[in-house]
Amino acid sequence: MSVYQLKSRFQDLLRPLVSRLAQWGVTANQVTVAAMLISVAVGSWLVIAENKIWFWLIPVWLFIRMAMNAIDGMLAREFNQQSALGAYLNELGDLVSDIALFTPFLWIAPFQPHWMGLIIVLALLTEFAGLLGLRIGASRRYDGPMGKSDRALLFGILGGWLAVDGFLPQWMVWLQPLLIALLMWTIFNRIRRGLAEAAKG
């Protein structure tokens, strides 16, 4: 099961807040851009921050970002704010945010920069594979096991661990090949299920 499958329950909790934001004139695109800019700011700060305690920002902000992603989608769907620009901002904002928030881990031992760089590239490819579903007549694919929400959970745990202990244990080096395998599996799943959906018409 992917964390993404819990999204509908999370949205139900956010619905009163979304209604209030709509009453205040807040738009989906404003929420999307704000989430991206804050992600870039958080990631940039963590790259230069010397004290690892600042990595507590990762789990806290990833949770808030997940809520903001749900909010912008609900504003768009439920308050007639869907637009072509919004679709671009939503997808590009997610990619930029992922790069910004995962980049600080390039220099965190025991991770190795080249493997973490590959993980970031594969994370982007999972979203590209999901988007290609639309190109072939299927839906936008969100299949796991390592979708956006799953990655947020994993890196949130890593950020929290790093903030508390100041370092990550050596055995976590094995998370790199495991994560690479899960991301490749996710890409395969999205392609396979997208093709199956398109074949059904």
pTM of the model: 0.92
For 39, the enclosing helix (H) or strand (E) is helix 28-48
pLDDT at position 1 is 52
Residues 147-167 have a mean pLDDT of: 96
pLDDT higher than 80, residue 143: yes
Q: How many helices (H) and strands (E) does the chain have?
A: 7, 0
The CATH homologous superfamily to which domain 3-200 belongs is: CDP-alcohol phosphotransferase transmembrane (TM) domain (1.20.120.1760)
pLDDT for 8: 76
Q: Mind listing the pLDDT tens digit for each residue in 34-50?
A: 999 999 999 999 999 99
What share of the chain in percent tops pLDDT 90?
Answer: 92
Higher-confidence residue of 2 and 67: namely: 67
Mapping DSSP onto H, E and C, the string for 97-157 reads HHHHHHHHHHHCCCCCHHHHHHHHHHHHHHHHHHHHHHHCCCCCCCCCCCCHHHHHHHHHH
**How many CA within 13 A on the CB side of residue 70?**
22
Q: What whole-number distance in Å separates Cα of residue 149 and Cα of residue 134?
A: 20
Which residue bears the tokens 């990595």? 55
* Average of per-residue pLDDT across 80-88: 95
The residue ranges of every structural domain in the chain are 3-200
